[in-house]
Amino acid sequence: MPDGRSLAAPAVGLLIAATALAALAVAQPHALAAFSVVALGPLHVLLALRYLTGRTLPILDGPIGRTLLVLVAAMVLIRAITVASPYLGHHLELLAGAALVGFAAWVGLRGTLRYVALGVVAAVTALSFVELPWYWHFLTHGHNVVPLIFLWDWTRRFRPIARLGFVVANLLWVAAIPLLLLFGPLGGLVNPDPPAAVGRIADPAFLVAAASPPGADASMGLRFLAVFAFLQGMHYVLWMLFFQVAGRREVGRLGRSVPAAVGWRFWLIAALTSLAIWATYAIGYNDGRAVYGVLGALNVALEQPIAVWLLLGALPSRLTTAPIATLRAS
């Protein structure tokens, strides 16, 4: 089992990145939120997809993989519907998200616990329909911290004490910095004035509203924008840098089955995808976000059930199924 000292460097590196992004989120929250998604969004989706797929490849050959493919494709279609009808699309996406989590629970759990989990999913879905704005608020910010589950999973190869230390170090940035921005002294330092460049591509008021909870005042909305910009930046750091380096085994596993997922072919696909989406941003920010949202559905839809499966790996083996055992061992 690897020595815990090998976790010190990545932990320090992530804390340094978090410190730098927190400073940017305080100084220019509008710019960080707007420009990072335009510049890095398309590439981050493709990089995340290849790690996610590589991590779960051992269980995707068969009905699990085929069903997951159908559900992910449905989510992409729903995102396209949302462009034409946001009201219908948002309700359908809630149902699709519930279906993905329910599918993951069905695949991963045994016996009575499987039905209990489905009941919980149904109850949360019903509540989310009643409080749809709050559902979208939690999803907006929650999506940015999902990679923490994959960080925890990645440490499975290390000693328990080293694993605990690494997780605690990451909780410092995922919890402490957002709390300081929302309720502490950092929030009072957030710059409320967006640079002129942001106003040329996006409505600053829209950026604030998209990150704010229902009913938030202007001051709290600005703090939530800073939190969103910070967590989105760390989301990109994890998928685009950390997991591409630390997850070489998972990426290589996919590359052996799908050569286009690695090497020059992958980077050509990534460049063409980014250029196509940047072209839609050139037409208008909302057009670019709409097209990017369709592409981003791949990442959002795939990470949800996989995150559930990895969390189920912490349960006793008698409660979970063979696919979860395979993921534990892979």
Summarised one tens digit per residue, pLDDT across range 161-180 is 888 899 899 998 999 999 99
pLDDT at 151: 94
pLDDT at 124: 97
Q: What is the pLDDT of residues 22-58, one digit of tens each?
A: 999 999 999 999 999 999 999 999 999 999 999 999 9
Q: Is the Cβ–Cβ distance between 15 and 169 less than 8 Å?
A: yes
Q: What is the pLDDT of residues 117-129, one digit of tens each?
A: 999 999 999 999 9
CA–CA separation, 68 vs 61, rounded Å? 11
| Nearest Cα to Cα of residue 93 among 85, 82, 104 | 82
Q: State yes or no: pLDDT of 1 exceeds 60.
A: no
Q: Is the Cβ–Cβ distance between 109 and 323 less than 8 Å?
A: no
* Segment 266-295 mean pLDDT: 96
pLDDT at 229: 98
Of all residues in the chain, what percent carry a pLDDT higher than 70?
98
Q: Is the Cβ–Cβ distance between 85 and 286 less than 8 Å?
A: no
pLDDT at 198: 95
| Nearest Cα to Cα of residue 214 among 134, 270, 121 | 134
pLDDT at 40: 98
Place 103 in a pLDDT band, splitting at 50, 70 and 90: very high
Contacts of 230 (CB under 8 A, 6+ apart): 18, 21, 22, 24, 25, 32, 177, 178, 181
HEC secondary structure over the chain? CCCHHHHHHHHHHHHHHHHHHHHHHHHCHHHHHHHHHHHHHHHHHHHHHHHHHHHHHHHCCCHHHHHHHHHHHHHHHHHHHHHHCHHHHHHHHHHHHHHHHHHHHHHHECHHHHHHHHHHHHHHHHHHHHCHHHHHHHHHHHHHHCHHHHHHHHHHHCCHHHHHHHHHHHHHHHHHHHHHHHHCHHHHHCCCCCCHHHHHHCCHHHHHHHHCCCCCCHHHHHHHHHHHHHHHHHHHHHHHHHHHHHCHHHHHHHHHHCHHHCHHHHHHHHHHHHHHHHHHHHHCHHHHHHHHHHHHHHHHHHHHHHHHHHHHCCCCHHHECHHHHHHHHC
pLDDT at 225: 98
pLDDT at 5: 57
Q: What angle in degrees, to the nearest 10, is found between the helix axes of 218-237 and 8-27?
A: 150
Mean per-residue pLDDT of the chain? 95
Q: What is the pLDDT of residues 213-244, one digit of tens each?
A: 999 999 999 999 999 999 999 999 999 999 99
* Segment 267-281 mean pLDDT: 97
CA–CA separation, 99 vs 122, rounded Å? 9
Place 157 in a pLDDT band, splitting at 50, 70 and 90: confident
* Segment 275-297 mean pLDDT: 95
Place 6 in a pLDDT band, splitting at 50, 70 and 90: confident
pLDDT at 11: 94
Place 2 in a pLDDT band, splitting at 50, 70 and 90: low
* Segment 196-221 mean pLDDT: 95
Q: State yes or no: pLDDT of 69 exceeds 70.
A: yes
Considering all CA atoms of the chain, what is the largest pairwise distance in Å, rounded to the nearest integer?
Answer: 58
